[in-house]
Amino acid sequence: MEFLVENKLFRVDKTVVTIRKEQPFTYYTRELDGDHQGDSDEKIIQAVLEQVRAELDPTSAIVQAQAKLEETQAKIQENEQKLAETEAKQTATDQAVKHNQEETDRYGKIIHAVVLNAVAGKTIAYGTNYKELVELIPLAEVGKRYMAHDLITLEDPAHVEVDGEGKRILIQLNREFTYNGEPASDFARNGRLEMDGTGAAWKYEPQETTVAPATTVSTTATVAPTTAEPPVTTVTPNQ
């Protein structure tokens, strides 16, 4: 049975939608941006299912968040250009810039949380996925001061790739830190900055695969003993 729209309710800038199906019984309630009360049930159901799939797939969620982030940044640039063109729209433009900056910060936090959860949780199956994830986090800038819990990335020329994970390493900072060109090895296990609590490197770790041992086949053949034939008895004919 296909999903049915059970309820949809518009609230400020959001439409709360509930969909369900009976076999197997499945029930989702999600908030969709904007007013979707006039949309067809099929379109609403598809929007809810896409949101659910994004929540279950970290890589997909990051791709969507990155797209939203780029879209928001484009709006910021557009609004800043309008701000320079006219003084009369100063207040309205300032409000729009502020709203878009808040959106940028929000999607930046989403990317931070999903990347850290996927890498630190060791749920990445392929090195290429690790590479895509860490490339969403900017490379550290010399002279820039970072705050506790910030994520940065460092290129590690000495790193030997095992599955196309690239040479960029994810670093999680534990306290305020000004980057002055320190190598990724300083944040590795037992490295100088890892030991003093500044931060730690999260390198790609291939997932272990358990292989069942092959069944041992005996190559020793069992041969049944040969039964000895009875001796031949010679009978002398009567004379």
- Do 101 and 149 fall within a single domain? no
pLDDT given at position 139: 94
* Residue 40 within any structural domain of the chain: yes
Is the pLDDT at 10 greater than 80, yes or no? yes
> How does residue 68 score in pLDDT terms, banded at 50, 70 and 90?
confident
pLDDT given at position 172: 92
- Do 146 and 179 fall within a single domain? yes
- Do 49 and 80 fall within a single domain? no
pLDDT given at position 70: 83
* Residue 47 within any structural domain of the chain: yes
Phi/psi for 124 (5° steps) reads -90, 120
* Residue 64 within any structural domain of the chain: yes
- Do 114 and 133 fall within a single domain? no
Q: Tens of pLDDT along 172-230?
A: 999 999 999 999 999 999 999 999 999 999 998 887 654 455 555 455 545 455 544 55
Q: Which of 37-41, 62-66, 123-127 has the lowest mean pLDDT?
A: 62-66
* Residue 230 within any structural domain of the chain: no
pLDDT given at position 235: 45
* Residue 237 within any structural domain of the chain: no
* Residue 223 within any structural domain of the chain: no
* Residue 107 within any structural domain of the chain: yes
Is the pLDDT at 234 greater than 70, yes or no? no
Question: How many domains does the chain contain in total?
Answer: 3
* Residue 117 within any structural domain of the chain: yes
C-alpha 194/C-alpha 191 separation (Å) is: 5
- Do 149 and 180 fall within a single domain? yes
If you average pLDDT over residues 58-79, what whole number do you get?
A: 78
Q: What is the mean pLDDT of the chain?
A: 80
Is the pLDDT at 144 greater than 80, yes or no? yes
- Do 35 and 1 fall within a single domain? yes
- Do 70 and 89 fall within a single domain? yes
Instruction: Determine the structural domain holding residue 80 and report its residue range.
Output: 57-123
More confident residue, 161 or 110: 161
Is the pLDDT at 75 greater than 50, yes or no? yes
Q: Please state the pTM of the whole predicted model.
A: 0.46
Q: Tens of pLDDT along 83-133?
A: 777 766 667 677 777 767 766 766 677 777 778 777 777 778 788 888 988
pLDDT given at position 160: 92
pLDDT given at position 175: 95
Q: Where does a domain end: 123, 138, 160?
A: 123
If you average pLDDT over residues 18-38, what whole number do you get?
A: 86
> How does residue 81 score in pLDDT terms, banded at 50, 70 and 90?
confident
- Do 51 and 61 fall within a single domain? no
